[in-house]
Amino acid sequence: MIFGATGDLANRKLFPSLYRLFEKGNLSERFAVVGVARRPLSNEEFQENVKNSVQSAIKDSTRLDEFASHFYYHSHDVTDSSSYLALKSMAEDLDNTYGLEGNRIFYLAMAPEFFGTIAVHLKQDGLTETNGFKRLVIEKPFGHDLESAKELNSQIRHAFSEDEIYRIDHYLGKQMVQNIEVIRFANALFEPLWNNRHISNIQVTSSEVLGVEERGRYYEKSGALRDMVQNHMLQMVALLAMEPPIRLTTDEIRSEKVKVLRAMRPLEGDMVHEHFVRGQYGKGMLDGEQVPGYREEPMVDSESNTETFVAGRLTIDNFRWAGVPIYIRTGKRMAVKSTKIVIQFKDIPMNLYYETGQTVNPNLLIIHIQPDEGITLHLNAKKSGNQLEANQVKLNFSNKSGSGINTPEAYEKLLYDCMRGDATNFTHWDEVALSWSFVDKISEVWENHKAKNFPNYEAGTMGPEEADQLLAKEGFSWWPVADLDVDNC
Ligand code: NAP
């Protein structure tokens, strides 16, 4: 059951992802999808919508009619308690028709303020009373801070146990984010070097070219810290920094990630100003066109204090990471769209090539997450010719060119995991709570100290100068993400 089946997420992501699963044979014939939303639609109209959204995402969709015939629509206001019973009887009929054995997934693709009400009704009206499995899939944002997240959690826990709740962080569905684990734990080469003896710093960048677009109302209340850092950025850091789990099971991996979040040094008071930088975009040029500043965007306060950029230095207080800064940055209206992780290894103890006037570049391992997917390793090797000169070489793997496999959409992977009951790539409540408690302390300081210099970066740049100073004071600088692209190597 998809609640919010006429919305943007359902149309752009969920229907095309379900179709891909269907076409690959990962979804058997024994499935039915009930779309729930307020506007009145017949089953046929809904099926037409489903076909249209699949077609606009996938060119060669040859089994559309067959696929869409599994879709049914129920017009229903989720705040109206009287119509859950009708939904229940529809679910029971479909259960019989398709032989679903009582297995039910409830996907809440709607605003979080409805999650609690829906969960309560699903239980109260008997939709969760089933002989098969019942699972709840929910979207971010999971609360606005720790308090609201706790409240939301207690509402949904009323109807679902923790292991029945699948909190989506779509970054965790991305191939290359999942690849962090494989690169680290399936190669003898990296794990022995993965510590403060050999790594000098780690940089995680997730930059967007788009501005806030029509999401001004939501973004004004959220900002980059809550929208990106609390979930996606900290999840990537947890995967990078965790200890090898004893087994690759959901519980073991989650428990190692939780340990990283617990070891992350909390920032309070002046430490926030020292370790975190916020920014807001002003007008600027992108692709030769003038774009407005954040404060000029629709539904944004003309004196808004909301950050559209965050950079920060994270410290993980454990034996492995003591002394290694982990820098993160994310923002809107930046120069390039890129999500990348750069692991910079320490310099060699002495440069034997110094006499020839050469600097030896540090070794870098770059994990390209989006839009390009791949891994690059920067090494030094001899330049061809007579002189003994070291030259930077880049060993490159691109998912596009290398494997020749079309990377599945994150939502496709996550939906499939949920159907199979694999919660590894979803966030556990403990992770959510720890990330909020880290982020809340930063927001508290920022809310009490209005940013005086907003807007402080031009649209089309890589953020405010203070973000560069954050690294410069420790002798580092951001690796220019555009130059590191797989295609540029
Ligand atoms: P949206 O386009 O505004 O869709 C909201 C859906 O909820 C519509 O189908 C709407 O249909 C339905 N709805 C609203 N009030 C309702 C009510 N009282 N009873 C029943 N149905 C109701 O939102 P969205 O962009 O799809 O986002 C959905 C959720 O996913 C949000 O939590 C969002 O933060 C999250 N999310 C979205 C994206 C994305 O790419 N869009 C990405 C990450 C997370 P009717 O008007 O017909 O009722």
C-alpha 376/C-alpha 476 separation (Å) is: 20
- Edge-to-edge strand order for the sheet containing 390-398? 276-279, 309-314, 326-331, 199-207, 338-345, 364-370, 374-382, 390-398
Identify the residue whose C-alpha is closest to ligand 1 atom 7: 4
Sign of the CA dihedral running 394, 397, 400, 403: positive
Integer CA distances (angstroms), 66 to 31, 101, 217, 301, in order: 12, 22, 39, 48
d(CA 333, CA 167): 28
Quote the pTM value.
Answer: 0.94
Whether residue 208 is annotated as binding a ligand: the answer is: yes
Give the tens place of pLDDT for each residue, 427-457.
999 999 999 999 999 999 999 999 999 999 9
Same domain, 126 and 182: no
Q: 68 CA to middle of ligand 1, Å?
A: 21
Confidence of residue 108 (pLDDT cuts 50, 70, 90): very high
Q: Which of 379, 360, 402, 404 is nearest to 487 (CA)?
A: 402
3-state secondary structure of 165: strand
Same structural domain, 198 and 291: yes
Q: Is residue 480 part of a domain?
A: no
Report the CATH number that the domain containing residue 11 is assigned in CATH.
3.40.50.720
pLDDT in tens, 229-263: 999 999 999 999 999 999 999 999 999 999 999 99
Whether 272 is in the pocket of ligand 1, judged by its Cβ within 6 Å, is: no
Does residue 403 register a pLDDT over 80?
A: no
The verdict on the CB of residue 45 being under 6 Å from ligand 1 is no
411 domain-assigned: no
| Helix%, strand%, coil% for the chain, nearest 5 | 40, 20, 40
Judge if the upstream peptide bond of residue 141 is cis by omega within 30 degrees of 0. yes
Question: What residue's CA is closest to ligand 1, atom 40?
Answer: 9
73, 41 contact by CB (below 8 A) = yes
429 Cα distance to chain centroid: 16
Based on the fold, state whether residues 189 and 238 are members of the same structural domain.
yes
User: Are 120 and 176 within one domain?
Assistant: no
Q: Tell which residue, 253, 276, 237, has the closest CA to residue 439.
A: 276
- The answer to whether 170 is annotated as binding is yes
State the pLDDT at residue 484.
79
97 and 229 within one domain: no
Q: What is the pLDDT of residue 404?
A: 40
- 41 and 95 in a single domain? The answer is yes
Binned at pLDDT 50, 70 and 90, residue 405 comes out as very low
Task: Write the CATH number for 363.
Answer: 3.30.360.10
Segment 268-299, tens digit of pLDDT: 999 999 999 999 999 999 989 999 999 999 99
Provide the pLDDT for residue 292. Answer: 97
Whose Cα sits closest to atom 35 in ligand 1? 139
Nearest CA to 95 among 19, 34, 164?
34
Instruction: Please check the confidence at residue 310 and state whether its pLDDT lies above 70.
Output: yes
What average pLDDT does this structure show over 32-57?
A: 97
The total of structural domains in the chain comes to 2
User: Does one domain contain both 322 and 274?
Assistant: yes
The mean predicted confidence, pLDDT, of the chain is 93
In a domain, 150, yes or no: no
Indicate whether 31 pLDDT > 80: yes
What domain range is 235 assigned to? 172-404+428-473
Residues 320 and 448 in one domain: yes
- Tell whether residue 332 is among the known ligand binding residues: yes
Residue 402 pLDDT grade (very low, low, confident, very high; cuts 50, 70, 90): very low
pLDDT in the model for residue 407: 59
What pLDDT does residue 61 have?
Answer: 86
Tell me, yes or no, whether 310 lies in a domain: yes
Surface-to-core class of residue 460, CB atoms within 10 Å of its CB (0-12 exposed, 13-18 middle, 19+ buried)? buried
